[in-house]
Amino acid sequence: MSISALSGMDASVPRPAIPETAKSADGKEAGEIKQRFEQMLWAEMLSHAGLEKAMTLGGGEAASAFSRYVVEEIAKDLAEKHPMGLADKVPSARPDINLMPKEANG
């Protein structure tokens, strides 16, 4: 499809309404996305702080393979019990899922 074909498209075509059940599911999905995002941040910070390397000292290949899972589980626990709140500051890449708090949306 060429760019000239795209320029003739009508952007004012209304989108179909999203059912209420889908909206509530999106709210739950948004919460899960926020928690997973913070879990990934915690896991990376713990790894860069040296936790993963410290757990593998003297443990060989088995400890090396297992340590990442332990770090991710620690990160999951931290994300649940001590959220950083960074996910609230990041806008959603999907327009149908709103991750921003209502007061920030205006």
C-alpha triplet 92, 26, 90: angle, nearest 5° = 20
Q: How many residues does the chain have?
A: 106
pLDDT at 99: 57
Q: What confidence score (pLDDT) does residue 103 get? A: 61
pLDDT at residue 2 in the model: 45
φ and ψ of 65, to 5 deg? -70, -35
What are the residue ranges spanned by the domains of the chain? 22-90
Measuring CA to CA, which residue among 57, 81, 77, 80 is closest to residue 69? 77
The pLDDT profile of the chain, 106 residues, written as one tens digit per residue, is 444 444 444 455 555 454 454 455 677 887 888 889 899 999 999 999 999 888 888 888 888 888 989 999 999 999 999 888 887 776 655 566 665 556 655 5
